[in-house]
Amino acid sequence: MLRLLSLLLLLALPAKAEEIVLGLSRDAVAITATFEGSDILVFGAIKREAPIVDDGNLGVIVTVAGPDRSVLVRRKARRAGIWVNTDAVEVDAAPSFYAVATSGPLNEVLSDTEDLRYRITIPRAIRSVGATVPDTVAFTQALMRIRTNEQLYQMLEGEVDLEEETLFRAEITLPANLTEGDYEAHIFLTRDGRVIDEYITTIPVQKVGLERWLYNLAHEQAFLYGLMSLAIAIAAGWTASAAFTLLRR
Amino acid sequence: MQIYLPIAEVSVNAFLLLGLGGIVGVLSGMFGVGGGFLMTPLLFFIGIPPAVAVATEANQIVASSFSGVLAHLKRKTVDLKMGTVLLAGGLVGSALGIVIFNYLKSQGQVELLVQLSYVVFLGLIGSLMFLESLRAIRNARKAGNARVPTRRRHNWVHNLPFKMKFRVSGLYISVIPPLLVGVLVGILAAIMGVGGGFIMVPAMIYLLGMPTKVVVGTSLFQIIFVTAFTTMLHATTNYTVDVVLAVLLLVGGVIGAQIGTRIGVRMKAEQLRILLALMVLAVCGKLAFDLLVMPSELYSIGAVAAH
């Protein structure tokens, strides 16, 4: 009863006491021919109407998520002496890239219930239902392990700098093997593990220039693209042959 | 220098790709194999998605084979008539192969099939060639310099109808065996994502009885068209041909193929064959090892097939 009352009281509050004001070092990522990955600096401040209340742990969590894709995780087992793919679990939605940065130890800045609600940590960001294999957990863990090794999933505990309980900054490194799409950056402001404000912004990651042109051509004018690839191959073969004939003279 | 591949969507070192293309190109020119059976596994290894590796490799083989065949045409070591017959079979075979490939893909075990067919075919052909070449070298040594011309063996191949004269190869045989060889190579080429030279070269030598010096050029000639056909199929159905990757591989590849062709001319046919046999066996051994030994990562991530 008491809890309900306090909840109602909280809801009735006119405005949020603390709000996020955000800046990004870049609002779009362009994939060019020599793309080697990119750093995104997420920085901002916490806007307050009242003076800082020092009544609990203030935390900032920054997440950057690539577009969700469904993936098939396969497991090998020994059958008749050789290792073959046997079981497979379809993960309905797993972000192609996911980074979580926090301002302090995870269990201090985020409670389990809030994690569940906002799907903040890596295991929560992956959605898997309707699996037919008993130990589905092993499959999602494998997915996280493989992607973490490829720098696609990053758990950056304590990597958000929070100064004077007001200014914060975090650097997220995007690896070179990125999937195109709209990347979502979420910034959560927490107090005692509870989310008190959330800020969402989108960072489009797009191929540009030659990369864009070739990708479009391959998908929209596939026949022409195929012919072009063959023409290049034949031309290169002929050039090399001609060049070597000249060299021998 | 890292370069981002637009279709594969990965970033790789450009010089690594040039180097790989070069090495495989040398082997391709020496032995008249497209080099796909080496390059495709190598591309998997450096992290190119398998679908892109197989499709792009087909495109690259077109370039290295074309470069190689020009060198052979100048030396008149291409049997165009035989090549055309093989090609007719090859196109039928590769269309059949794609049908089989797609059926097995729907069954979810295509990866295993590809690996197993590599191991079986590479192992079989590698050991056959190795033994045969060893015997040839031993016989040549025994006979000394005075080589007795061996009478051409007459097997069932020579008793079939529809005979045709292949002047460059010095053969008068039925068109049925070359057609069947073409079909078989086409099927395997589509399933295994290779040109199929490593199967065709021994088949031409041992089954059709073609002289070794025309085998290489003729197989390259046939491979150009079959792989061009495969490239178009992949480009229009799966959109997996990465032209940037192909260009990097083929720049290395065409140069390598020219060097390889010249090395090949200087070597004896037996030596050439024994080297090819050893290489085929090495790749086979590696693939068999991967199937037999417990992998360090049991799990793999794949894309969900479109429903």
In a domain, B81, yes or no: yes
B70-75 contact pairs (CB < 8 A, 24+): B70/A237, B70/A238, B70/A241, B71/A241, B71/A244, B71/B29, B71/B257, B71/B258, B71/B261, B71/B262, B72/B216, B72/B217, B72/B220, B72/B221, B72/B261, B73/B217, B74/A245, B75/B217, B75/B265
Q: Is the pLDDT of residue B147 over 60?
A: no
Chain A residues in contact with B231 by the CB 8 A cut-off are 226, 229-230, 233
- Domain assignment present for residue B303? The answer is no
Helix B176-192 and helix B80-107: axis angle, to 10°?
Answer: 40
Sequence-ordered list of residues with C-beta below 8 angstroms from that of B294, at least 6 positions apart, any chain:
A78, A83
In chain B, what residues touch A143 (CB-CB under 8 Å)? 299, 301
Q: Look at residue B7 in the predicted model and tell me its pLDDT.
A: 82
pLDDT in tens, B82-134: 889 889 998 898 888 878 877 776 666 667 777 788 788 888 878 887 888 88
B304/A214 Cβ within 8 A: no
B108: chain A residues, CB-CB within 8 Å: 85, 88
Position A56 scores a pLDDT of 65
Q: How far apart are the C-alpha atoms of B10 and A37, rounded to whole Å?
A: 10
Question: What are B10's strand-pairing partners?
Answer: B5
The chain A residue lying nearest B66, using CA atoms, is A237
Which of the 8 DSSP states describes residue A16? -
Nearest CB to A229 within list B246, B292, B297 = B246
pLDDT of amino acid B148: 45
Question: Which residues have CB under 8 Å from B69's CB, separation 6+?
Answer: B78, B217, B220, B221, B224
- Tell me what pLDDT residue B270 has: 74
Among A12-26, A221-235, B106-120, B284-298, the range of highest mean pLDDT: A221-235
Question: By the 8 A CB rule, do B17 and B10 touch?
Answer: no
pLDDT score of B150 more than 70: no
pLDDT mean over B144-152: 48
Query: Is pLDDT of A224 > 50?
Result: yes
- What separation in angstroms does the CA of B248 have from each of A10, B14, B89, B114, B254? 62, 7, 31, 26, 10
What is the per-residue pLDDT for B206? Answer: 79
B266 interface with A at CB cutoff 8 Å:
no
Cβ distance of B302 and A71 shorter than 8 Å: yes
> Does residue B12 sit within a domain?
yes
B266, part of any domain: yes
Statement: residue A4 has pLDDT above 60: no
Selecting from A176, A232, A245 the residue whose C-beta is nearest the C-beta of B247 gives: A232
CA distances from B3 to A32, A131, A249, B303 (A): 9, 38, 36, 24
Alpha carbon A114 to its chain centroid, in Å, reads 19
In angstroms, the CA B25 to CA B32 distance is: 10
CA B245 vs CA A33, B21, B62, B195, B252: distances in Å: 11, 10, 14, 18, 11
Residue B31 lies in a domain: yes
Place of tokens 């195929």: A226
E strand segments, chain B: 2-5, 10-13, 163-166, 171-174, 299-303
CA atoms of A122 and A144, how far apart (whole Å): 8
- Is B298 a member of any domain? no
Q: Is the pLDDT of residue A112 over 60?
A: yes
CB–CB contact A177 B255 (8 Å): no
Q: Find the largest Cα–Cα distance for chain A.
A: 97
Q: Are B283 and B24 in contact (CB under 8 A)?
A: no
Task: Tokens for A38, please give them.
Answer: 């990119």
The answer to the question of residue B150 being in a domain is no
Mean per-residue pLDDT for A195-215? 86
DSSP characters for B86-143?
A: HHHHHHHHHHHHHHHHHHHHHHT-HHHHHHHHHHHHHHHHHHHHHHHHHHHHHHHHHH
User: Which of A12, A20, A31 lies closest to A189 in space, CA to CA?
Assistant: A20
Domain-located, residue B304:
no
Token output for B120: 């079986």
Please report the pLDDT score of residue B307 as a whole number.
Answer: 41
**pLDDT at position B158 over 70:** no
Query: Which structural domain range is residue B79 located in?
Result: 2-143+155-292
Q: Return the minimum-mean-pLDDT range out of B20-24, B93-97, B262-266.
A: B262-266
Q: What is the pLDDT of residues B167-197, one digit of tens each?
A: 777 777 788 888 888 898 888 777 776 777 7
CB A97 within 8 A of CB A183: yes
Reading the block at residue A54, the tokens are: 């020092």
Indicate if the pLDDT at residue A41 is higher than 50.
yes
A123-132, B95-104, B214-223, B254-263, range with the lowest pLDDT: A123-132
Q: Which of A38-47, A128-137, A235-244, B50-59 has the lowest mean pLDDT?
A: A128-137
| Interface contacts (A, B; CB < 8 Å) | 183
Contact residues for A144 (Cβ-Cβ < 8 A; gap 6+): A122, A123, A126, A153
Interface test with B, best of A76, A217, A227, A241 (most B CBs within 10 A): A241
Please work out, in degrees rounded to the nearest 5, the angle formed at the alpha carbon of residue A159 by the alpha carbons of A156 and A162: 145
Mean pLDDT of chain B: 79
Cβ proximity of B260 and A244 under 8 Å: no
Supply the ipTM of this predicted assembly: 0.76
pLDDT at position B108: 62
Chain A residues with CB inside 8 Å of B251's CB? 236
**Res A196 pLDDT > 60:** yes
CB-CB: which of B111, B236, B301 is closest to A71?
A: B301
> Does A9 have pLDDT greater than 50?
no
- Nearest-by-Cβ selection for A72 from B59, B254, B304: B304
Task: Using the CB atoms, write b or e for B121-148: b if 16+ within 10 Å.
Answer: bbbebbeebbebbeeeeeeeeeeeeeee
What's the pLDDT score for residue A30?
Answer: 83
The phi and psi torsions of A176 (rounded to 5 degrees) equal -75, -30
Lowest mean pLDDT among B110-119, B143-152, B227-236: B143-152
Q: Write out chain A residues lying below 8 Å of B1, CB-based.
A: 34
Residue numbers in B near A212 (CB within 8 A):
6
Between residues B16 and A6, which one has the greater pLDDT? B16
Q: Which residue of A has its CA nearest to B6?
A: A211
d(CA B189, CA B182): 10
Q: Which residues of A touch B307 (CB under 8 A)?
A: none
State the burial class of residue A200 (Cβ atoms within 10 Å of its Cβ: 0-12, 13-18, 19+). Answer: exposed
Closest Cα in chain A, distance from residue B56 (Å)? 9
Residue whose structure tokens are 């070069």? B22
pLDDT of residue A10: 46
Residues of B in contact with A82 (CB under 8 A): 291-292
- Using the Cβ of B146 and the Cβ atoms of chain A, whether some distance falls under 8 Å is answered with no
pLDDT at A133: 65
Residue B157 pLDDT level (bands cut at 50, 70, 90): low
10 Å Cβ neighbour count for A149? Answer: 10
Asked whether the beta carbons of residue B299 and residue A142 sit closer than 8 angstroms, the reply is yes
Task: Report the C-alpha dihedral over residues B14, B15, B20, B22, rounded to 10 degrees.
Answer: 120
Asked if residue B64 has pLDDT above 80, the reply is no
Chain B, residues 40-79, CB within 8 A of chain A, namely 47, 59-60, 62-68, 70-71, 74
The tally of domains found in chain B comes to 1
Is there a contact between B64 and A237 if contact means CB atoms under 8 Å apart? yes
